[in-house]
Amino acid sequence: TVLNVLNSTYSNTYESVLVPLCIAVAGFTTSCIGITVCLIHGIRTALLKPEQEENDRQLQILLTSPLL
C-alpha cells in the first residue's frame, strides 16, 4: 500500500510538472522563432536599403539630366 501511495504521488507530481513544462517550452520556442524572423527581416532591410538609396540617386540624376 505504501508503494501504491508513493507511485500515485510520483505520478501526480510528474503530470503536474509536465503540463507547465510543455507550455514553457512551447512559449520559449515561439519566442525564439519570432525573434529570429524579426532579426532576419531587419538584416535584410538593412542590407537592401543602401542599394535602394543608390538606385534612387541614380534615378534622380537621370530625371534631372539635360538630355531629357
| pLDDT(40) > 80 | yes
Q: Which residue has the cell 527581416?
A: 41
Q: Which domain holds residue 12?
A: 1-68
pTM of the model: 0.52
How far apart (Å, rounded) are the C-alpha atoms in residues 19 and 27? 12
Q: How many domains are there within the chain?
A: 1
- The tens digit of pLDDT for each residue in 44-68 reads 877 776 666 777 777 777 777 676 5
